[in-house]
Amino acid sequence: SAVISQKPSRDICQRGTSLTIQCQVDSQVTMMFWYRQQPGQSLTLIATANQGSEATYESGFVIDKFPISRPNLTFSTLTVSNMSPEDSSIYLCSVGGGGDNEQFFGPGTRLTVL
């Protein structure tokens, strides 16, 4: 499986600010995804990051709040904009594998908004 890294691993931010999270993969992948995991909860898909086109957002998530970039097949960023304490979560990127039937996850970015 691919080796996936995320930066930062954690951050504490003030409300109203924005944070950009980076996801780097050690090999070219077609599918990249961004998830949110709220405290004590399961994973919820935010969007699919498409290379060369706009991300595809799930219901309840919008581009203005969570802009995503996918400049190439090994890298993506997720920005959490105009943060509030409700945005405090773990943000995870994942990549498709096994013919995109499987997904492999990065270590996550733990965000706390004060």
Partner 1 sequence: GQQLNQSPQSMFIQEGEDVSMNCTSSSIFNTWLWYKQDPGEGPVLLIALYKAGELTSNGRLTAQFGITRKDSFLNISASIPSDVGIYFCAGRKETSGSRLTFGEGTQLTVNP
Residues contributing to the site for partner 1 (CB under 8 A) = 1, 4, 31, 33, 41-45, 48, 58, 92, 94, 96, 98, 100-108, 110
Q: How far is the CB of 16 from partner 1 (least distance, A)?
A: 27
Question: Among residues 10 and 15, whose Cβ is nearest to partner 1?
Answer: 10
Question: Among residues 4 and 19, whose Cβ is nearest to partner 1?
Answer: 4
Question: Among residues 44 and 82, whose Cβ is nearest to partner 1?
Answer: 44
Residue 5 has φ and ψ, to the nearest 5°, of -125, 150
Q: How far is the CB of 15 from partner 1 (least distance, A)?
A: 24
Q: How far is the CB of 92 from partner 1 (least distance, A)?
A: 5
Cα–Cα distance measured from residue 54 to residue 41, given in angstroms and rounded to the nearest whole number: 28
**Beta strand residue intervals within the chain, DSSP E:** 4-7, 10-13, 19-25, 32-37, 44-49, 56-57, 68-72, 75-80, 89-97, 102-105, 109-113
Partnered with residue 20 across adjacent β-strands are 79
